[in-house]
Chain A
Amino acid sequence: MTSSKKSAMQIIEVTEELSPAGMFLGALKSSRKKPGVVTALPPITYVRPSVKLDAAHIAAYAKVCGYSEAQGVPIIYPQMLTFPLMMAFFASPECPWPGMGTVHLANRIAQHAILKAGDQLRVEVATGDLIAHEKGQVFNMEMKVLRGDELVWDATQTLLRIGVKNPAGPKFISALNADLPLSRQADIRAASDIGRRYGKVSGDMNPIHLSALSAKLFGFRAAIAHGLWTKARALAQLMPPYAVAQAAVNVEFKTPLFLPATASLWATHSELSTAFEVRNQKGDKPHLRGQICYA
């Protein structure tokens, strides 16, 4: 890792490949953090200056998430490239909270161009705003993917640090309308090994996803599906059977999907958007709610 100070914004380049185990160890070590009052995140951007889109890895990701080859590089796939940067942030002293016990609350992605295997990309993750949530402190991580000078993809990952008292920032407001009438589209099978399979592809080997036993160690009654897997699985089903150039996806994570499970996918399509939810099998409890918009 090399770091350079540029005005107020600190830029840290991450060039070495971190092993999943190394990343997890960093996250674990970060558990000892005991922050005081946090009023803002330090302005830092983590960068992978040159990442080549790997066809084999995209194929492995597409398979686990249920995408077809014709759908091209899945819209959430670039988020895989941000994972080492996220882990570097959590392990760093600049992140006031431990990585473990931070909950994925929402995710917004905008894709601006079709990506192809072989593309050389610059991947950036920057610290963002603080938002106050009734359950704790919400903070945003701003992600960007550039191909040369062209911004091809950007995203906001909204995370919740549960239990932070007197959280800073404006009040959290859910951006997605819950009143739209949705219709059942399909069932989504989440096998007991999906956490391990997705963990292997994504590098996110958080034990709460891997097995019932390891999840119990962290206070969950069973392993829970990665939120980004559930989101990807729903998008694989809902998005067109071809590669889309421009689209935006907003998702809020509502309740954990305990493995194994059969979830149900609900949606309503209008001309340029699709509102959707992944619910439990009975269809009365949402795991995640989202909206896809096409330009």
Chain B
Amino acid sequence: MNTIRRVAIIGGNRIPFARSNSVYSSASNQEMFTATLQGLVDRFNLHGERLGDVVGGAVMKHSRDFNLVRESVLSTTLSPQTPAFDIQQACGTGLEAAMIVANKIALGHIECGMAGGVDTTSDAPIGVNEKMRKILLEASRAKSTGQRLGSLAKMRPGMLVSPTLPRNGEPRTGYSMGEHAELMAREWNISREDQDALALKSHLNLARAYKDGFFTDLMTPFKGVAVDNNLRADLTIEKLRSLKPAFDKKVAPNQGTLTAGNSTPLTDGASAVLLASEEWAAAKNLPVLAYLSFSEVAAVDFFDKKEGLLMAPAYAVPRMLARAGISLQDFDFYEIHEAFAAQVLCTLKAWQDEAYCKEKLGLDKALGAIDLSKLNINGSSLAAGHPFAATGGRIVATLAKMLNQKGSGRGLISICAAGGQGVVAILEK
């Protein structure tokens, strides 16, 4: 039995993120994830290397991609003897993948591995019409040509033009993510102005990070794209204010505060990180950026108890802080995934709310405010975009590099996910 080891983050890679149906509209998940993994292999010269495991996933997935990560690994120059598997935890997929690989390394089961995620809403899986699918299955079960023709005769032209489309919504509530976030913004009284201000900061921070060359060793250009194409470096608060609410019709008619500017767009992209034991890193002569030291997941009852769908990180963080024996203020950087500006602002407000912290989170007192000058300082999802499963890898790599640049310190990662879930982690150097 081994003792628990520190898990080193060696590096990360992503392809620039692109708004849905733009430059990557014809790229498949496998193509994007392969390019991302290959970039990481190239950067650390891992050609022919057998890694302990590669874990990743996609939220929007074709049934043919059941082995997406393994198929992607086989298309890289890694050793074909590198095992791999798929996971899926909505927007938490990328960070959860890193946690799985990290735990294997910590326990000594493997020495190194990659974790990541990919998503496309451009090359989305469209199912055939549900009635047509049943007819096709019935026809395939038929024992004679006559039976088969009998089944197929039930097909109607209308079935061809009304396919089953994937949707960005909660199956149990029927509300979209944006509608849920709008409900949360109402519950926590988050103003449109504060949301727009956060969105502007995200764009300006990401633009500055690009200008500083921050992403140079965290990114591989793909299909001629070198910068996230959702980034608006010349964005102004006036432009954000000129956008109309987008998610209020069903949940808060005429009272909406969420717009296309302070919400993440549907995005295509992929990311991956390289994790290893310190021994492996030393043997390869690879410097360590940071260590993944704690992680936690939580879920809320958004259906019966009507809790905010994206509030689970508010629960996960204090549990993790208790295990780590530190306070919310003991961080040098906060990376709170900006699914919606409102999600970030609701979470920060909840942590300052005495009643919420006591009654819902079971704490003695409020967690308190954070120093906002430490929040998402190199931009986040509002500017970069949010390819669901790829966001975790982007944030882990970004934060690890920030800690390495600083030389020492601690950073918090918080990611909300569909299904009322939250995935959080602490990185240290």
Chain A interface (Cβ within 8 Å of chain B)?
181-187, 237-238, 241, 266, 268-270, 283
Contacts and interface: CB of A to CB of B under 8 A. Distances in A.
30 contacts: A181-B193, A181-B241, A182-B241, A183-B192, A183-B193, A183-B240, A183-B241, A183-B242, A183-B243, A184-B241, A184-B242, A184-B243, A184-B244, A185-B245, A185-B254, A186-B244, A186-B245, A186-B254, A187-B244, A237-B254, A238-B254, A241-B253, A241-B254, A266-B241, A268-B191, A268-B192, A268-B193, A269-B191, A269-B192, A283-B242
A89 B191 CA distance: 45
A185 B258 CA distance: 10
Interface residues of B, number: 14
A268 B243 CA distance: 13
A238 B253 CA distance: 10
Contacts of B245: 185-186
Contacts of B254: 185-186, 237-238, 241
Contacts, number: 35
Contacts of B242: 183-184, 283
Nearest to A283: B242
Interface of B: 191-193, 196, 237, 240-245, 253-254, 256
A266 B193 CA distance: 12
Given A184-B243, A269-B191, 9 more contacts: A183-B196, A183-B243, A184-B241, A237-B254, A238-B254, A266-B241, A268-B192, A270-B191, A283-B242
B244 A185 contact: yes
Contacts of B244: 184-187
A237 B240 CA distance: 21
A182 B196 CA distance: 11
A266 B196 CA distance: 14
Nearest to B237: A181
Contacts of A238: 254
A183 B193 CA distance: 8
Contacts of A269: 191-192
A241 B241 CA distance: 23
A268 B195 CA distance: 12
Contacts of A266: 241
Contacts of B240: 183
A238 B241 CA distance: 16
A262 to B, nearest CB: 12
A283 B244 CA distance: 12
Nearest to B254: A237
Contacts of B196: 183
A270 B192 CA distance: 10
A188 to B, nearest CB: 11
Contacts of A181: 193, 237, 241
A187 B256 CA distance: 13
A283 B242 CA distance: 8
A183 B208 CA distance: 26
Contacts of B191: 268-270
A269 B194 CA distance: 11
B185 to A, nearest CB: 12
A237 B254 CA distance: 6
Instruction: Please indicate which of the listed interface residues B191, B245, B253, B254 has the most CB atoms of chain A within 10 Å of its own CB.
Output: B254
A286 to B, nearest CB: 14
Contacts of B256: 185
A175 to B, nearest CB: 23
A183 B191 CA distance: 11
A184 B253 CA distance: 14
A181 B237 CA distance: 9
A182 B192 CA distance: 10
B261 to A, nearest CB: 10
Instruction: Please indicate which of the listed interface residues A183, A237, A238 has the most CB atoms of chain B within 10 Å of its own CB.
Output: A183
A101 B45 CA distance: 82
A187 B240 CA distance: 16
A286 B292 CA distance: 54
